[in-house]
Amino acid sequence: MHAFCTLFRTNYLTRGLAMYESLKDCCDYFNLFILAFDDTCLKVLAALDLPHVTLISMREFEDEALLNVKQTRSDAEYCYTCTPSLIHYVMEKYEPEICTYIDADTYFYASPQALLDELQHDSVMITEHRYTPNINRARKFGKYCVQFNSFRRDAAGLKVLQWWREACIDWCYVKVEKSRYADQKYLDDWTTRFEGVHVMQHPGGGVAPWNVQQYDVFEKSGKPFCRDKKTGEVFEIIFYHFQQLVFTNDGKVDLGIYELSDNVIRLLYKPYIRHLNRVQAALRKRDASLDPQGSSHTRRDQQMPHMYLYRKLTNTYNVLDETDVLTS
């Protein structure tokens, strides 16, 4: 059975639940360990009683080392701080052979088995950003992305995990330094610092807004595929990382700063946003006061040259149909 773990707050409930539902549709045998980062999130998830899910509360998860630094970190920084500690916690308490951390805003279109098969006899698997060359931000934010990271419960895997956990407890801030950025830039030298670290090779693992410009995205048998514009290689998208997606209070959906093709919007973003809205509608039937989308006023208006803003009812690209709009 595959063991996955993730963490999120109430404002990421729709993303976390959509990720879970997409994983359930693609993966036959798995257990998803969810660290609920606030009491409301824990209460909602407990009431849903989702199959294949093990809930973890902050009270049972946080140890003295984490609590000692909690007040020195912003909410986002503390989430990043906790990432390796969550994997470590699952490893120690539930003892899976392999545990894979996945970000709550990823979405699966095919089974992750092809990715997990790559690990073979190695102990750790990490994922490159694979930045589009003209927007390469690896020097600033790191070569690798903390979005799908696998650890084997053996001496080599636990050594890397313990090192990462201690490093993040010592320093984990949303600040760019020469060799540090949040929990992420620590991964840059793992292939030389440690033994048994594998870099994921399947290009369908980790398609994202910062690399999708390199591909022609098309549909085949009802699923999204990519064709590499340079090599012509065709591959199935295993998961897409919907980072930077923001729902604003003025009825818009901000798709972020990266350039996205019409096909990417049509085949990936439109269905995803509709899925998020369906999840939100179901959650608000239970509690109308919830804001599981994390709506907020964007601070990027009029600043970014590649901003994509879409109105829910009246927008050029018709990202959301009238039936998808939530009025509650």
Does residue 304 carry a pLDDT above 70?
Answer: no
- Is the model's pLDDT at 76 over the cut of 50? yes
User: Quick one: DSSP state of residue 210?
Assistant: T
165, HSE (Cβ side, Cα atoms, 13 Å): 18
- pLDDT at residue 226 greater than cutoff 70: yes
For residue 107, give both structure tokens: 């979405």
DSSP-derived pairing of the beta strands 215-220 and 205-207: unpaired
127: pLDDT strictly greater than 50: yes
**b/e map 252-287, b = 16+ CB within 10 Å:** bbbbbbbebeeebbbbbbbebbbbbbbbbeebbeee
Looking at 46-55, 146-155, 247-256, 289-298, which range is the least confident one?
Answer: 289-298
Nearest to 151 by CA among 236, 79, 208, 94: 94
The type of residue at 54 is T
Please say if the pLDDT value at position 302 is more than 50.
no
Please tell me the predicted confidence (pLDDT) of residue 28.
Answer: 86
CB 257 within 8 A of CB 304: yes
What's the pLDDT at 70? Answer: 98
Task: Provide mean pLDDT across the span 142-157.
Answer: 98
Pairing assessment for the beta strands 106-108 and 239-241 based on DSSP bridges: antiparallel
Split at pLDDT 50, 70, 90, the class of 310 is very low
Nearest Cα to Cα of residue 140 among 191, 182, 79 = 182
Which 3 state secondary structure label does DSSP give 6? strand
Q: Could you report the per-residue pLDDT of 24-58, keeping only the tens digit for each?
A: 999 988 999 999 999 999 999 999 999 999 999 99
How much is the pLDDT for 321? 42
Token pair recorded at residue 24: 């359930």
**What are the domain boundaries of the chain?**
2-203, 207-324
Q: What percent of the chain is modeled with pLDDT above 70?
A: 89
Residue 16: the pLDDT is: 98
110-119, 211-220, 222-231, 261-270: which has the minimum mean pLDDT?
Answer: 261-270
Query: Which residues, including other chains, have CB under 8 Å from residue 26's CB and lie 6 or more apart?
Result: 108, 109, 110, 111, 112
Least confident of 10-14, 79-83, 132-136, 245-249: 245-249
pLDDT at 297 over 60: no
- Report pLDDT for 296: 60
- For 231-270, the pLDDT digits (tens) are 999 999 999 999 989 887 766 788 888 889 999 999 999 9
**What is residue 189's predicted lDDT score, i.e. its pLDDT?**
97
Mean pLDDT of the chain: 90
User: Two tokens at 105?
Assistant: 């805003």
Name the 3-class secondary structure at 313: coil
Query: Among the listed ranges 134-138, 200-204, 275-279, 310-314, which one has the minimum average pLDDT value?
Result: 310-314
Q: Is the pLDDT of residue 62 over 80?
A: yes
pLDDT band, very low/low/confident/very high, at 328 (cuts 50, 70, 90)? very low
CA angle 157–236–138, rounded 5-degree value: 55
Q: With bands split at pLDDT 50, 70 and 90, how would you rate the model's confidence at 288?
A: confident
Beta carbons of 89 and 61 less than 8 angstroms apart: yes
Rounded Cα gap, residues 135 and 283, in angstroms: 37
Class of domain 2-203: alpha beta
Lowest mean pLDDT among 106-110, 166-170, 298-302: 298-302
User: CB burial class (10 A; 0-12, 13-18, 19+) of residue 77?
Assistant: buried
The SS3 assignment for 192 reads: helix
Element (H, E) at 215: strand 215-220
